[in-house]
Chain A
Amino acid sequence: MRLALDIFTALAVAGGAFFFLAGTVGLLRFRDTLTRLHALTKADNLGLGLVTLGLLPLVAWPLGALKLISVWLFVQLSGAIATQLIARLVRREDPQA
């Protein structure tokens, strides 16, 4: 059981790290502000989600797990709002974007 959970953690955290890599590559390589924004929020939030998922078996239940999930939910909320705000600003400053 412990081994199965450890493998699960390893896979989830590795997946999360991969998505962080994807997000950074997108941020650096995409040509356009809006596409970079897209890569940033989607990939990085998914990465954080996978990391959180992988760490769930390792923390105290229930309060520790609840805190971990609420961190992820807060980051998602602020990420979503900030992305919308930034995207609207880009659209306003450059209507052809």
Chain B
Amino acid sequence: MSMANAFDVALVALLLAIAVWVVVARAAFSAIVVFIAYGLLVAIAWVRLFAVDVALTEAAIGSGLTGMLLLGAAARLRGTTASGRCGLTLRIVAAMFCAMISLGLGAVILTPPDVVVTLAPAAMANLPPSGLGNPVAGVLFVYRAFDTLLEKVVLLLALLGVWSLTPDRLWGGVPGPQVDAGPDGMLAFLAQLLPPLGIVVAVYMTWTGADHPGGAFQGGTVLAAMWIVVIIAGLQNAPSIDQRLVRFLVVVGPAIFLGIGLAGFALADGFLSYPAGYAKPLIIVVEVALTLSIGVTLGLVALGTPQRMRRQ
């Protein structure tokens, strides 16, 4: 067995063990920490499958933002008296559902068709006119741009879903904890040093997505993370959700994307098609706008519902 296979075997064994551990863990906190570990290992698995774009997103969201959200949730639940054990019927139904999905996936993967159907050669061959070098970016913005547009709208809807949990009296308030930490201290040091570097990395991530793994979503996630660090450290208060700038930034990405898509009716062949020669500049404009929107939207989703009204 070659060393690469040995690595894969070790990784898969570890993944399975950790997945079982997450399910059977007794304490919520242990399960969360092990889930963060699981996210990291899945990112390494994506790397082994040569899907580096997905690995980037998994490392950022799966073990970064989701871990943060779960830890925050566990902290909130600590003070409650809910027992947290659900009934046996529910658990059996959940187990059957998961088993069905696993068996279905296994059947599909283990019995491949005689002729492997793949569009990869066609996708690579048609990439040059758009000026992109990364086939994933090509799929996202050229071949399946409609899906990407809808995904960004779904992100917006997720934010609205989070905001819809606000109690009426707090609508228009400020999410996140009230932190009055001064400019000294450890957290403030992190929040002063990390974000400038993080913003450089975010810009790099978005820019390099045209030819190498990366893109608007990964860059936006880093931006959101840096913003959250500044807010958690108390260097800046979270914006209240009725501020115009906040709502503008959240909407500007999908709006520009939609605008360029509609302009395709007049300037090119149809919805979301680009005029010849202008594909790359238009895609860059869309990606920059999307990076900003995704950063603000993900940050707001992670901050949660408004907790208090803004001090007048």
Where the two chains meet, the residues of A that have a C-beta atom closer than 8 Å to any C-beta of B are: 74, 77-78, 81, 84-85, 88
Contacts and interface: CB of A to CB of B under 8 A. Distances in A.
A77 B194 contact: yes
Nearest to A87: B186
14 contacts: A74-B197, A77-B190, A77-B193, A77-B194, A78-B190, A78-B194, A81-B186, A81-B187, A81-B189, A81-B190, A84-B186, A85-B186, A85-B187, A88-B186
A81 B197 CA distance: 16
Contacts of A84: 186
A48 to B, nearest CB: 15
A16 B193 CA distance: 27
Contacts of B190: 77-78, 81
Contacts, number: 14
Given A77-B190, A81-B186, 10 more contacts: A74-B197, A78-B190, A78-B194, A81-B187, A81-B189, A81-B190, A84-B186, A85-B186, A85-B187, A88-B186
A16 B187 CA distance: 29
Task: Please provide the 7 A-B residue pairs with the shortest distance between their CB atoms, ordered closest to farther.
Answer: A81-B190, A84-B186, A85-B186, A81-B186, A77-B193, A81-B189, A77-B194
Interface residues of B, number: 7
A5 to B, nearest CB: 21
Interface string B167-201: 00000000000000000001101100110010000
Nearest to B198: A74
Contacts of A81: 186-187, 189-190
A87 to B, nearest CB: 10
Contacts of A78: 190, 194
A55 B169 CA distance: 57
A74 B196 CA distance: 12
Nearest to A85: B186
A78 B186 CA distance: 11
B64 to A, nearest CB: 11
B112 to A, nearest CB: 36
B212 to A, nearest CB: 12
A20 to B, nearest CB: 15
A74 B186 CA distance: 16
Contacts of A85: 186-187
A88 B186 CA distance: 10
A69 to B, nearest CB: 13
A85 B190 CA distance: 11
A85 B188 CA distance: 11
A88 B190 CA distance: 15
Contacts of A77: 190, 193-194
B157 to A, nearest CB: 33
A74 B193 CA distance: 10
A85 B191 CA distance: 13
A88 B185 CA distance: 11
Interface string B7-43: 0000000000000000000000000000000000000
A85 B189 CA distance: 11
A88 B194 CA distance: 20
A77 B69 CA distance: 22
A78 B198 CA distance: 12
Q: Specify which of B187, B189, B190, B197 lies most central, judged by the most chain A CB atoms within 10 Å of its CB.
A: B190
Interface in B111-163: none
Nearest to B197: A74
Nearest to A82: B190
Contacts of A74: 197
A15 B182 CA distance: 41
Nearest to B194: A77
A60 to B, nearest CB: 13
